[in-house]
Amino acid sequence: MSSRDRILGRIRRAVADGAPDPAIPRDYLPVHGTRAPAETADLLAAHLSEYRAKVHRTDEDGLAPLLMRLLAERGARTVLVPPGLPPNWLAGADATRVHDRAASTLYELDAVDSVVTGCALAIAETGTIVLDGGPGQGRRRITLIPDHHICVVRVPDQVVDSVPQALPLLDPTRPLTWISGPSATSDIELDRVEGVHGPRTLEVVLLTGPAE
């Protein structure tokens, strides 16, 4: 008998009596404090900045010029585009569009300079962006392999205060990616290295106004 079989056998014996699962207490605070929507957006921006993400603010009229400028400052010659990204977002960008294709290899994705996506929602108290693979976000790998990710968050529609507020709004059957700042890790001596597990540079655009 293998170690795996022994472990699974113990689990089966432990649950064999059919007893109901123990109740999980849910008496924690769903949110810490009361905030106006503008204050929630400010908190999100502050926490994203603490995680070394670059935060920008604009409205619908300023979005296309802002994205054009960010890509130009990055020197991006190519930009990866999810299938459902609004076409007007990149209307002024000079970078060549690269479409999110299932057939794309890791080497092809690694050669892309930037990726622009929307998001499912953002959490202010933790400075977290959540992606769920929706049409404006594309497959998970397109936001993990390119070195530069620009993510657009609609304010206030896509911003919540806390994780307990976020979870009921997310579909657990979708491929959820939780992002708090650019990819980073540290060794035992706390030397920080960025870009190991995802983009080295994360730029978040807080877009005011409702979706069109």
The SS3 of residue 73 is helix
Per-residue pLDDT at 123: 97
CA distance 111 to 47: 30
What's the burial of 125, exposed, middle or buried (CB within 10 Å: 0-12/13-18/19+)? Answer: buried
Q: Considering the entire predicted model, what is its pTM? A: 0.84
Give the N- to C-terminal CA distance of the chain in Å, as an integer.
Answer: 60
125 has a pLDDT exceeding 70: yes
Position 53 pLDDT exceeds 70: yes
* 116: β partners: 150
The mean pLDDT value for 6-27 works out to: 79
Mean pLDDT of the chain: 90
